[in-house]
Amino acid sequence: VTNSETSTATVLGLGAMGSALARALLTAGHPTTVWNRSADKAVPLVEQGAVRASTVAEAIEASPLTIVCLVDATAVHELLDEAGDALSGRVLVNLTSGTPEHARTLADRAVHYVDGGIMAVPPMIGGPDALVLYSGSGEAFAAHRPVLESLGAARYLGEDPGLAALYDFALLSGMYGMFAGALHAYALVGTEGVPATAFNELLVPWLDAMASTLPRVAEEVDSGDYGSDSPLAMQATGVASLIEASRAQGITPDLILPVKRLMDEAVAAGHGDSDVAALVRVMARGAPR
Ligand SMILES: NC(=O)c1ccc[n+]([C@@H]2O[C@H](COP(=O)([O-])OP(=O)(O)OC[C@H]3O[C@@H](n4cnc5c(N)ncnc54)[C@H](OP(=O)(O)O)[C@@H]3O)[C@@H](O)[C@H]2O)c1
């Protein structure tokens, strides 16, 4: 395989994200073949220099590396059914969002399989802030790393194909937790006419300060040796007041209630003297289905 062959790529799926991926490959100078179920979405990419394939198999056979980015894992399975043997000896990088289990099931269908999680929105692809997480065949990832790096920073996590999806969801969990807390805060001060933009002057440095405590929280999660500076029994009482105050201001406490429930469970399980890291213990016991 020559260098020019290893730098060519195929993109299957030209929605908002797939089109951004193909554009970034073309911009970085990689000869790119594209295919989409609705053929018209290939037109702007062909104008940028992409080659349009008329079938999935033809698209896959055009490059040693195929990147697939569809709506969900079911669509990827359908596409692989359509591909027949075309993938044989070729690398499949699946950047469609799915669960770790979806990734492991898809990995069973392609010998050289890499799964990925895109930590970016389409306009960020190819730019300095885009990050893509990868897991699965380390050999396949290493062989195509230079091409994949034109999409964004590439972080390889290990041979288990489910790891990229797991990390992706864990990062999203952190994000949604932060947004949920911030939105509750805006709603609460909003009841007294305080604009969210004005409140940010206090909220953003506060969240920065709290984020700076995460190294200590993480150490406690790993060691199971919890600190007691802010014991959960005290925090649970404080959060009960927060919930009462929210209701009194006419705000639903829906985003805060699950935190209170876990705190109560942790206190009941004997973690009243531990700080917030002990909540992970309660979560690890699983949730009622
Ligand atoms: N957009 C984002 O901000 C973002 C960020 C991170 C990750 N992602 C992930 O990237 C993936 C694609 O997202 P997107 O924003 O590009 O979505 P999108 O714009 O809705 O595009 C969906 C793509 O899936 C194709 N598709 C749907 N069902 C199909 C099927 N049965 N067979 C073949 N093709 C099928 C569509 O083809 P047609 O054009 O023919 O309908 C289209 O190319 C998703 O898994 C998403 O979670 C997106």
pTM of the model: 0.93
Ligand 1 center–CA 18 separation, angstroms: 7
Going by alpha carbons, the residue nearest to atom 19 of ligand 1 is 15
Half-sphere exposure of 140 (CA within 13 A, CB side): 25
Ligand 1 center–CA 135 separation, angstroms: 20
- Which atom of ligand 1 sits closest to the CA of residue 96? 45
Q: According to the model, what pLDDT value does residue 288 have?
A: 55
With a 6 Å cutoff on the Cβ, whether 102 touches ligand 1 is no
Q: According to the model, what pLDDT value does residue 287 have?
A: 60
With a 6 Å cutoff on the Cβ, whether 42 touches ligand 1 is no
With a 6 Å cutoff on the Cβ, whether 104 touches ligand 1 is no
Ligand 1 center–CA 42 separation, angstroms: 14
Ligand 1 center–CA 141 separation, angstroms: 23
Ligand 1 center–CA 20 separation, angstroms: 11
Q: According to the model, what pLDDT value does residue 1 have?
A: 43
Ligand 1 center–CA 123 separation, angstroms: 15
Over the range 253-267, which residues count as b (16 or more CB within 10 Å of their CB) and which as e?
Answer: bebbeebbebbbbbb
Q: According to the model, what pLDDT value does residue 2 have?
A: 43
Ligand 1 center–CA 98 separation, angstroms: 12
Residue type, 78: E
SS3 205: helix
SS3 157: coil
- Which atom of ligand 1 sits closest to the CA of residue 17? 16
pLDDT in tens, the chain (289 residues): 444 556 999 999 999 999 999 999 999 999 999 999 999 999 999 999 999 999 999 999 999 999 999 999 999 999 999 998 999 999 999 999 999 999 999 999 988 999 999 999 999 999 999 999 999 999 999 999 999 999 999 999 999 999 999 999 999 999 999 999 999 999 999 999 999 999 999 999 999 999 999 999 999 999 999 998 899 999 999 999 999 999 999 999 999 999 999 999 999 999 999 999 999 999 987 765 4
With a 6 Å cutoff on the Cβ, whether 56 touches ligand 1 is no
Over the range 105-115, which residues count as b (16 or more CB within 10 Å of their CB) and which as e?
Answer: bbbeebebbbb
| Beta pairing partners, 10 | 33, 66
- Which atom of ligand 1 sits closest to the CA of residue 18? 16
DSSP string, 88-133: TTSEEEE-S---HHHHHHHHTT-SEEEEEEEES-GGGTTSTT-EEE
Going by alpha carbons, the residue nearest to atom 46 of ligand 1 is 97
Q: Are strands 32-35 and 131-136 parallel, antiparallel or unpaired?
A: unpaired
- Which atom of ligand 1 sits closest to the CA of residue 121? 3
